[in-house]
Structure 1
Amino acid sequence: MDYRHSSKGKKHLRLSAKGKNLSAKIATLLQSRFHLRISTYKGSHFISEIAKIQVQGKDRNNQEVTLDLIGKFGKADKDVRTRLPIKEFFEHEIFVYEYILPHFEKLQVEKNVCNKFKSYAGFCAASQEDCKETIILENMIVKEFQVCKRDVALDYNHALLLIKEIGRLHALSFAIRDQYPQIFKKILSTLKEVEFNDQCCSHNRNLLHAVFPQCINSLHAIKDKIALQQYKKLEKVFFEKTQKSVDRKSSEPYAVVTHCDVWTSNLLYKYNELNLPSEVCLVDWQLVKISSPVSDISQIMFVCIDKETRDKHYQELINEYYTSFSSFLRELGSDPDIMFPMNVLQEHLQKFSVHGLYIAVRMISLTSISENDTPDFVEKDALKTITNAKKNVTVFNKRMRDILLDYVMYGYELFDKE
């Protein structure tokens, strides 16, 4: 839909523009005349429509100003909204931008942090109006960030930068939990589970049941016999095992704010003069949970990187995560040896990495389909379409088999210990 030709779209945006979280720059422009150029584009967004927005006008000094923004609009289709909690997804993400990230920023200012965690797009405005949910953010492409290709695994340098920043994200949450329990309590009470709530459970369980048999078929009947037996057994309890792994109660007292949607389509990178990644930006915060830090780490290990990188750098990346996490947490004034010791991280990797496996099963199934043929997860016949979609079988089988075998090789739990 092109919002340039839609009075609904323009009204929608004005409603957002009146929000209390409007950025100072846009607020200045609104005191003068301005116009919008909005164009939508297709992307890997299953609950929303994404639009590029350009705001042009004059500031208080009568100087021409152009702002490049991104608008995220909740899908209005009634059938989609019946099957998925679109409003709750948006309320969830807006809370992250309006409350959680500002408190992280405030803590860093209080602690005089020089190198702040800022691996997210600037938040400009939002609306939670039913069927007109909107989030307006900075367009990071204009700031020379580049979107990752969804079907290309991250190399070591990209993965290293990402896992260090994830460590800093987790450190901020542990510091808030430690030093400002009332703020953390509000986060706990406000962040309700959306990915595994009643409305989503049926959809996600059916999707897993549709794609997991194809994943198991990537294993060799003879060479991978033991793993094959384990995964056929897991198939019966996979969804419930994953659901339990991200339940806050399972990981207490070490549950913190986790992004929980760490795959390449949600990552943008900026590069230095040597063409090495220098900054990373995480987008799509609608699945944020209070869970074990391993919810994010396992996604990096099994969704974002491939076997070659795991074989060469797995333990190194884990160590780099913990070094980044622990040094930043100390800078923020809390003790990592108390809040989240290394031995607890190792225990959590064993117990909760199943979440990364679950996301890998979904996303490798998706990214093995050409972008032009990719079905929308929220379509009525999505499960049938995804199951029957033409995949790059060679790529899918290799990457999926590598993931399944590596998970077993690392000795990570497939079943609850009796």
Structure 2
Amino acid sequence: MCSVTFDADVVAPPKHLDAPFFEEVLETALRTARVKLLSIHIRIGSSTGENYCSQIYRAKVSFKRPDHPEQDIVFIVKSIPHLDSVEFINDLQVYLKEKMTYYEILPRLELMMQCKRRFGPKLYQCIKQPENTLVFEDLGQLDFVMASREEGLNEDHCQLVMERLAEFHATSMALAVLDPHIFDTYTDGMLSPRGLEKDSFLMQFFAGNGKELHRLVSSWPGFERIAGKIGKYMENHRSNLVRSQAPLEKEIKVLNHGDLWVNNMLFKYDAAKRPQDLILIDFQLSVWGSPGIDLNYFFYTSLSLDVLRHRRPHLLRCYHDRLAKTLLDLDLGVPVPSYDQILEEVHRREAYGFFASYGIFPTISQDKTQTADNNLESFKDADFAKQKFRQMFESRRLAETLRYSLPHFERAGVLD
């Protein structure tokens, strides 16, 4: 009889993560039904406060195959409970999109790259009931790890992200030529009108951050004009957010990851601790639209301030060079955008970067000691939310970055 045990820190063990569930996962992963489960041990798979909408588990499965010694395999389990606070997830079809991305999109993109690239982990199982659950390979077993979200990425990391992102975007452009309707489901991203209804969690969260941004900047000498513009921007907050992602005529379109920040990237390093490879995770907010969406979001959530201040043009050049090379190598007749066209896409989506700088980055720049109680259910409490919004905007890294980025956004016309 196979035993299933949970670590003590798994407060409410999901009942559906049982032996029959993992038996099916194991058969898919090993591509054989000739396997006997011996034991399953499940523990929390991420730091508390690092995942707002889902719970991550790491499941170690011991098993035996005929004529083989006893073996272990580790799976990553992503479970999204059915809670009122995450109803917007259903509105944005995140479970369907993530399932489609892992089962259909990524394998086709990797084939187009002649399997020289892996864009994401393997998905072994997904179920919708009793709660949305996806089971992935554990990329940690292949020596992929997360970088530090608190410090920001250095230039070596950022250049690798630009190269891999360009390949991901380019292959999606080519796949859209081969299969014109394949991305029809990918119309709702993070700033979709459906997700930003007046009383939705996302709208309340971003509004709370916007209010704190205005309060913080209003206290800075020399920023009076910018603070006034931010105040006016927040008077039409929802419409400004929706417009920053809304499709535009004649724009370049790619499959955006949609949530491209440090914790959704896994790096592999050489002996000298230099990043050599990169795999993306969490495609639940992917959206078909301008590459300026991913590029601006990444720039204003994940770069160290020194890289953002001095190396942004270089990174965009790296992105364009790899995008052009990949499209030419694929040889499917997709028009290759010029560097100036990419710059224009980024410029037109500067408002998305502004959103990322106050809607997302404050959470990312928090010290880990302050994020342990971050979850959607906690933010439903008004007093907790008010205290947490204030705490997020006390980060020194956030203040230093905003002092640089806000004048940039003003020059770009975002605040007008």
Does the alignment pair 1:355 with 2:357? no
Alignment equivalent of 1:27, drawn from 31, 36, 51: 31
What secondary structure, in the 3-state scheme, does the structure 1 residue paired with 2:136 have?
strand
Equivalent residue letter for 2:170: A
Equivalent residue letter for 2:351: V
Q: From the superposition, tell whether residues 40 and 344 of structure 1 become closer, same or farther in structure 2 (CA, over 3 Å).
A: same
Does the alignment pair 1:191 with 2:186? yes
What secondary structure, in the 3-state scheme, does the structure 2 residue paired with 1:287 have?
coil
Alignment equivalent of 1:37, drawn from 12, 35, 41: 41
Aligned residues: 398
Gap runs ≥5 in structure 2: 1-5
Corresponding residue for residue 97 of structure 2: 92
Matches within 5 A, 1:63-102: 63-76=69-82, 78-82=83-87, 84-85=89-90, 88-102=93-107
Alignment equivalent of 1:205, drawn from 188, 203, 206: 203
Corresponding residue for residue 367 of structure 1: 364
Aligned counterparts of 1:105 and 1:288: Cα–Cα separation in 2: 17
Deviation at 1:175, TM superposition (A): 0.9
What secondary structure, in the 3-state scheme, does the structure 1 residue paired with 2:376 have?
coil
What secondary structure, in the 3-state scheme, does the structure 2 residue paired with 1:198 have?
coil
Deviation at 1:406, TM superposition (A): 2.9
Aligned counterparts of 2:299 and 2:249: Cα–Cα separation in 1: 19
Gap runs ≥5 in structure 1: none
Deviation at 1:62, TM superposition (A): 2.4
Deviation at 1:58, TM superposition (A): 2.6
Alignment equivalent of 2:324, drawn from 323, 326, 336: 326
Aligned counterparts of 1:30 and 1:359: Cα–Cα separation in 2: 49
Corresponding residue for residue 121 of structure 2: 121
Deviation at 1:322, TM superposition (A): 0.3
Equivalent residue letter for 2:356: I
Deviation at 1:165, TM superposition (A): 0.7
How well do the aligned residues superpose, as a CA RMSD in angstroms? 2.9
Deviation at 1:260, TM superposition (A): 1.1
- 8 Å CA contact retained: 1:254, 1:339: no
Deviation at 1:158, TM superposition (A): 0.7
Deviation at 1:221, TM superposition (A): 4.9
Aligned counterparts of 1:5 and 1:64: Cα–Cα separation in 2: 30
Alignment equivalent of 1:269, drawn from 264, 267, 270: 267
Corresponding residue for residue 313 of structure 1: 311
Deviation at 1:199, TM superposition (A): 5.0
Matches within 5 A, 1:221-260: 221-247=220-246, 249-250=247-248, 252-260=250-258
Aligned counterparts of 1:393 and 1:10: Cα–Cα separation in 2: 39
TM-score by length of 2: 0.85
Deviation at 1:212, TM superposition (A): 1.4
Alignment equivalent of 1:104, drawn from 98, 109, 120: 109
Deviation at 1:243, TM superposition (A): 1.8
Equivalent residue letter for 2:55: E
Deviation at 1:325, TM superposition (A): 0.9
TM-score by length of 1: 0.85
Equivalent residue letter for 2:398: F
Deviation at 1:206, TM superposition (A): 1.9
Aligned counterparts of 1:174 and 1:23: Cα–Cα separation in 2: 34
Percent of aligned positions that are identical: 16
Aligned counterparts of 2:256 and 2:92: Cα–Cα separation in 1: 20
Aligned counterparts of 1:164 and 1:72: Cα–Cα separation in 2: 28
What secondary structure, in the 3-state scheme, does the structure 1 residue paired with 2:106 have?
helix
Cα-to-partner distance string for 1:323-375 (whole Å, 9 max, x where unaligned): 01110111111456x25332221221111122122122122221344434332
- 8 Å CA contact retained: 1:36, 1:54: yes
Aligned counterparts of 1:134 and 1:158: Cα–Cα separation in 2: 31
